[in-house]
Amino acid sequence: MKKIAIIGGGFSALNLAWQLLNSDATEELTLEIFEKDRQLGGMAGGFKEKNWDWTLEKHYHHLFAKDLAFQKFLKSLDLENQLFYQKTLTSTRWQNKTYQLDSAWSLLNFKELSLIDRLRTGLVLALLKILPNGQFLEKYHASVFLQKTMGKKSWQIIWQPLFEAKFADWAEEINMAWFWARIKPRTAKLGYVEGGFQFLADQIEKKLINKGVKIHFQSEVKKIQLVDRQKNKGPQLKLIIKSLKAQPAKLQEKNFDLVINTLPSLQFAKLIDLPELKNNPLKGLAAMTLTLRLKDKLLKDGTYWLNVNEKDWPFLAVVEHDNFLDKRFYNNEHLVYIGKYLSRKSPVYQYSAKKLWQNYLPFLRKLNPKIEKLLIDYRLNKEDFAQPLVKIQHSLNLPAMRTSCPNLYWLSMQHIYPFDRGLNQAIVASNQLAQQIKEDWGF
C-alpha cells in the first residue's frame, strides 16, 4: 500500500487526487490532502454571506469557452451541467471616459488611436489569435514588440497601463509569449459554475471523501524531511504538520511514500532545502482584491470588466460581478471586485480593508459619485504569490515536476507556461503530473 500526501487543497490538488484515484490500482494507494485553510478551493475559493444562495470567489474568476481541460474535468466528476457561458462586456477607462473595447468593431471605433494604429493593433491581435503556438515569441520583450508592430500610441494607451498595473516595476521585462498566451484562449463568452467555484470545490470534496481520500483542514505543512529507511525499503518523506484547530496549535509528524507539493516556490522553499529553490529566478507578485457589496450598480453601462488605463489610479481592474451573474443569487446585492497586483514588499500590501477603501474612494467616486451611499460592506483578500513574472527566455527557468528530492513532486502555477496561470491550465498541468506519477510508480 503506497501512502500519498498532497500539500495544498486548491484545484490542482483536487484534480491530482481525482486523477490518481481513477487509476487501475486504487486499492494500492491511500491519499491524504493537507490544507491550511478551513475549506478547499485555494485562490479560486470563496465565501457566502447570510441570505446569499451562491458563493462568491475571494478574487474574480471566470473561464473561457475554450477551457477544454476544465470542461473534461467536470465531465469526469459528473458535474459538467453546472458549467454555463454568458456574453459579457469589457471596457477601458482612459482619460476620464469609458470605452467599450472587446471586439474588432469596438477597436475600429476607438478614436483615441489613429486609423492606422487601430488597423495595426487589430491585425496583430488577429495574427496572434490564429498563431497555433507562440512560445518562440519569448525571445522578445512584449513592450518592444507591441510598440513596433501595433504602434507607440497603441502601446501607451491600451497596453502599457495594463502591463504596469499587472507587473509593476517589471512591466517592460515581460516576454511576448506571455502576451500571445493571454490573447489566444480569449472568447467573447465567459464561463462560470452554478453556485460559484467554492460550491464546486465543496462538491468535489464530497466525491473525494467518498473515494476514501482523507482531507485534513487547518493543517499547515511546516517541513518536509527525507527519511532513509533500511532493508531496501526505499526512502520516505516525513511531513511536519501544524494543526491550527488545536489551541495552542499542535505539531504532528506523518510519513509518506510519495509527496506532491502544490505551493509556489516562495512557500515551498520554507518547507525543504532544495537546490532548485535556491537563487531561483521564479519570481512573482502578490494580489489584493477588495470586494464591495453595494445596494446598486457601480458601473451602470453593463460593463463586467473595466480595465483601468488611467495612469495615476491605484488599481488595475473593476469587475462588476452582477453584470455577469444575476444579483438574485446574492440576495439582490451588487458585487464589485477592485483588483490589484503588487510586490509583497510594497507598503500598500500591508493596508487594511478600511485603509484600502479610503485610498480607492476618490477614484471610485469618478466612476459613480454615489458610491459611499451604495456601500453595504467591503472585504479584502490577499495572496502572497499570485502572478509569476515571465521574462525573456522564461522556458529555460521552468522547474521540473519531479524534484531533486526522491519521491517529492511539485506542481504550482510556476509550472504553467506560456499560458497564464488559471484554472484550466492548473488542470492541464495536474493531468500531466498524474500521468507522470502513474508511470513512475506503476499505478
Ligand X SMILES: Cc1cc2nc3c(=O)[nH]c(=O)nc-3n(C[C@H](O)[C@H](O)[C@H](O)COP(=O)(O)OP(=O)(O)OC[C@H]3O[C@@H](n4cnc5c(N)ncnc54)[C@H](O)[C@@H]3O)c2cc1C
Stretch that binds ligand X, among 30-38, 112-120, 198-206, 297-305 (CB under 6 A): 30-38
Beta carbon of residue 327, minimum distance to ligand X (angstroms, whole number): 20
Tell whether residue 59 is a contact of ligand X (CB under 6 A): yes
Beta carbon of residue 163, minimum distance to ligand X (angstroms, whole number): 16
Beta carbon of residue 60, minimum distance to ligand X (angstroms, whole number): 6
Among 386, 408, 433, 434, binds ligand X (CB under 6 A): 386
d(CA 86, CA 325): 9
**179-238 residues near ligand X, rule: CB under 6 A:** 220-221
Among 20, 21, 31, 35, binds ligand X (CB under 6 A): 35
Would you say 222 or 311 has its CB closer to ligand X?
222
d(CA 386, CA 283): 10
Tell whether residue 407 is a contact of ligand X (CB under 6 A): no
Cell of 113: 488611436
Tell whether residue 263 is a contact of ligand X (CB under 6 A): yes
d(CA 57, CA 105): 32
Among 23, 37, 202, 254, binds ligand X (CB under 6 A): 37
C-alpha dist (Å) from residue 210 to 41, 184, 206: 18, 38, 6
Examine residue 418 and say whether the peptide bond preceding it is cis (omega within 30 degrees of 0).
yes
* Cβ-contact 310, 400 below 8 angstroms: no
Stretch that binds ligand X, among 58-66, 107-115, 177-185, 319-327 (CB under 6 A): 58-66
Cell of 169: 516595476
DSSP 376-434: EEEEEEEEEEEEE---TTGGGGPPPSB-SSTTEEE--GGG--SSPS-HHHHHHHHHHHH
Beta carbon of residue 37, minimum distance to ligand X (angstroms, whole number): 4
DSSP 221-279: EEEEEEE--STT---EEEEEEEESSSSS-EEEEEEESEEEE-S-HHHHHHH---GGGTT
Tell whether residue 256 is a contact of ligand X (CB under 6 A): no
Per-residue contact flags (x/-) with ligand X for residues 286 to 315, judged by CB under 6 A: -x-x--------------------------
Residue numbers at the binding site for ligand X (CB under 6 A): 7-13, 34-37, 42-44, 59-63, 220-221, 262-263, 267, 287, 289, 339, 383, 386, 412-413, 421-424, 426
